[in-house]
Structure 1
Amino acid sequence: MLQQYLLQEFERRTKANPNYSLRAFARDLEIHSGTLSSILNQRRTVGAKVLTHIMKKLPLSAADKKKILSDLMTPAPVESEKPPVIDEEVLNIIKDWEHYAILSYLHLRKAKKAPGDMAKALRLPQAKVLRALTNLESAGLISRDGGQLKVTHKSFITSRGIPSPALREAHAQYIEKAKRALTEFSVNERDITGTTIAISSKNLPKAKELIQQFRQELSEILEQGEADEVFRLNIQLFPLTHKKTAEISK
């Protein structure tokens, strides 16, 4: 309930001022923007002190405050399932980009799920979609329930820091699609930017952690509400200088 009220209030303020940002909302609530982001994305348990402070800053009625307190006192369901780790054998089966796109497409509740509809939406030959569905089913990533296709896991993860030819191939295909997006989509439909910087190599591990955290937080923001499109987020960080030969990783 607290998350809902915060989102409603944030939406109300952005309608009044389209330039109103999440950082500005956090400033007006007098809390850290990271704390606000964690609450909105339900990654943080709200303590009594923070809750009391936020409720003072929100235009809430006594009934609304009672609902929020009641909701927070109700135990949340325990997440028992962790995202499975996909091994190299499965990655070899689903290395082509359309497998990942189809998995995301199946999360679109209102989209038609027939192979022909998926082929049209993803601009693929129907034969390729059928092959990808067979691969995903054999890998245990989708199942059929009364003729309906269902994703067996909300998400999955791959190993980190281990060279993977299959992941290299998948990344290469997505980079190629990003190049095509430069001409196929308007600037209102895409965001492709970059920066070139001189860095200290010792900070790379921290940079990778921040990129992973950013991907997770951005995914949680974009997944709010009902999904109606499939997007791909690419983040590329790579050297332009070659002072040594490094092992090629994923």
Structure 2
Amino acid sequence: MRAFARDLGISPGRLSEILGGGNIPGKRLTRRIITSLKLDADDTSHIMRVVDRQKKIQTELKGAHQLDMDQFSLIADRENFSLLCLLETENFVSDISWMAERLNVSEATVRDVLERLSRLGLIKQGPHGYQSTHKDITTSHNIPSAAIREYHTQGLKHATESLLNVDPDLRDITSIEMPTDLNKLKIAKEHIRDFRRKIAKLLEEGETTEVYRLNIQLVPVTNVAGSRKGAHT
């Protein structure tokens, strides 16, 4: 690593951060890395696209509060993020009964969530009641997989309940199956991440009165070679 860093003209520490995903290189340095590794045209195109996308995400999330592993594990339950979003709506009422009714949970659950979020410094009580301490919240890249699985499991369950109980005019649940080139899966996932952020930006502009969740599932229907029954990702 020291020799490679020397050839690139950067410190070993910075190279270590780049390899670990903690530092996004600029286009010039990315070009030097590509040249040093003698990458072909396809790999070069992919790396340049990833760097551009990460720089864009970095700009969009500038100033966002990043949760560490322990914090995310503590608030992985769906109600925590739902309440944080509810606080940002324009018609928010800082009343436990009102919050419980809006989120369709018990008042005891609301009290527990408020206590947990207050203890973690994610909300505070101001002159007009509860309010968020951070407008945007993100997670680190090394969240425990068990916490991620639990969070997404709850989201999928909620989507199923919406399919059965919510008027079609107030929700959108669709699916499509297609023959797939696995070599393009990484690119597809990049497009999904970009789409997710564009939708969030669109819906957060204007008069925000409700809290919505966007679930996007891209999963194999066939038995993909190399996968195993019961595997978790």
Question: Is TM more than 0.5 here?
Answer: yes
**Counterpart check, 1:180 vs 2:164:** no
CA distance in structure 2 between the aligned counterparts of 1:170 and 1:206, rounded to whole angstroms = 24
- 1:105 CA displacement: 0.3
SS of the aligned residue for 2:213 comes to: coil
TM alignment of 1:1-250, pairs within 5 A: 82-146=63-127, 148-160=129-141, 164-242=145-223, 243-245=225-227, 248-249=232-233
Percent identity at matched positions?
33
- Contact 1:141-1:151 within 8 A present in 2 as well: yes
Q: CA deviation at 1:202?
A: 1.8
Calculate the aligned-residue CA RMSD, in Å: 2.3
Distance 1:80-1:227 versus aligned 2 partners, 3 A rule? closer
Partners of 1:84 and 1:156 within 8 A in 2: yes
Distance in structure 1 (CA, Å) of the matches to 2:62 and 2:143: 24
Deviation at 1:154, TM superposition (A): 1.0
Amino acid at match of 1:248: H
* 2:95 maps to amino acid: A
Q: How far did residue 84 of structure 1 move?
A: 2.2
Structure 1 residue 236 displacement after superposition: 0.7
Gap change, CA 1:194 and 1:160, over 3 Å in 2: farther
Q: Give TM-score, length-normalised by structure 1.
A: 0.64
- Structure 2 residue runs of 5 or longer lacking an equivalent are 1-55
Q: Which runs of 4+ in 1 moved over 6 A?
A: none
**TM-score, normalised via structure 2 length:** 0.68
Displacement of 1:146 after TM fit? 3.2
Superposed displacement of residue 205, structure 1: 1.5
Task: Kindly indicate whether the alpha-carbon contact (under 8 Å) linking 1:163 and 1:248 is maintained by their aligned counterparts in 2.
Answer: no
**Consecutive unaligned residues in structure 1, runs of 5 or more:** 1-42, 44-78
